[in-house]
A = this chain, B = another copy of it.
């Protein structure tokens, strides 16, 4: 049984159209989901805790006595951490440590400090940078419950200086993921509620008696959660609405084809819409990767998902040379970009658009997913053209500072009066003029 993965050649006449067809992904709006989410949000806004309780009983089949018991005490998180076996706990702690170090550096480099400068006439201009007050982290429940998501969402918020981090995680049928709860404790989450779905998003956005309203919600979720996040955007901030995960591997043909095959698999195993693409100038090497995939696939526990993803969304693309590979990479602006080549820096300098760039053949994407340090929440579907990985900067915001001196008010007033009249806004002009007349 050979995997039927699409093979393209950039020198073919129809290549651009064929590539566009591979990349095409349109989030279909589901009317039923939209209606249901709108109704749940309105209900949570109106009835608060009792609505949250009802939906949690209905959708998660969770028999909770009262809204207050939706919150998990810290002792429960501590118990989850203690329940982990030694090596898993050590790995989790190591990952937390590395992600924190990276985001600590990011905080220093990303402009998290307030700044100002004084002009000769005494006028002061600048920006005050402050963390958000309170952030909500959504963590999916059930089989897609990933402890690494907890780290990647909570740690940048903590590093930014957010006062309170509230995590929500549904526990359908009471199923608890100890690794997720342990990750929450280690990442510095302050409060955990075992709720999920649109009702959890509504509770975080509007607040209830028990669940505090937050200023921003981050974290992945299913179609209901995404629809709810879109709807509450404006009332609160949101991180992003992620599309399917993607990897683009640029390989010069010098890496072990089994490594490349497995890197494509590791993306494909996420879900059936995940998109693994290889760009390589060496047709023989592409064949060797294909052979490797066919040899490896049967041993993969998640082979059905992998095959589905590769056949429907994947591609092996023969390019003219590595320069062309870089051009195509910029057009695609992938979430994950592996530059698996002898001289990775030579090619990386041409890359303008990518969520994360993995350089050199020892840098498998999976190391970045878990523990290298940088965030694994990345822009998808070409949005790396205009957006960035989740980071400390997403949990900070800025206020402009303007303090005009008496002298400054005279010179600035003249400019403002002239332009205000040019725009027909006379009160603006008068307001500036008042400061020009007197020495109050």
Residues of A within 8 A of B (CB): 27, 87-88, 90-92, 94-95, 98, 102, 105-106, 109-113, 115, 117, 123-125, 127-128, 130, 132-133, 143, 146-148, 179, 215-216, 234, 236-237, 241, 255-256, 258-259, 262-263, 265-266, 268-270, 300-302, 306, 344, 348, 351-375, 378-379, 381, 383-389, 391, 393, 397-406, 408-409, 412-416, 418-420, 422-432, 434-435, 438, 440
Contacts and interface: CB of A to CB of B under 8 A. Distances in A.
Contacts of A132: 385-386
Contacts of A430: 262, 265-266
Nearest to A376: B400
Given A109-B127, A302-B425, A356-B400, A431 B265 contact: yes
A218 to B, nearest CB: 11
A403 B204 CA distance: 37
B388 A398 contact: yes
Contact of A401 (B300, B302, B357): B357
A262 B434 contact: yes
A357 B216 CA distance: 22
Given A367-B409, A424-B143, A360 B265 contact: no
Contacts of A88: 418-419, 422
A404 B362 contact: yes
B360 A403 contact: yes
Given A302-B427, A431-B265, A368 B419 contact: no
A432 B399 contact: no
A115 B109 contact: yes
Contacts of A427: 262, 265-266, 268-269, 300, 302, 306
Contact of A431 (B356, B366, B373, B403): B366
A401 B339 CA distance: 11
Contacts of A146: 423
Given A127-B106, A412-B371, A418-B87, A432 B364 contact: yes
Contacts of A413: 367
A48 to B, nearest CB: 16
A245 to B, nearest CB: 11
A215 B237 CA distance: 21
Given A123-B372, A269-B426, A370-B415, A399 B258 contact: no
Contact of A416 (B353, B357, B367, B426): B367
11 contacts: A88-B419, A102-B125, A130-B353, A265-B430, A356-B399, A358-B403, A362-B404, A363-B402, A364-B431, A367-B404, A374-B400
Interface centre among A113, A236, A399 (most CB of B within 10 A): A399
Nearest to A132: B386
Contacts of A259: 431, 434-435, 440
B115 A428 contact: no
The 9 closest A-B pairs by CB, nearest first: A111-B111, A237-B386, A91-B418, A374-B400, A359-B403, A110-B111, A356-B400, A366-B428, A388-B398
A106 to B, nearest CB: 7
Given A415-B91, A419-B91, A344 B403 contact: yes
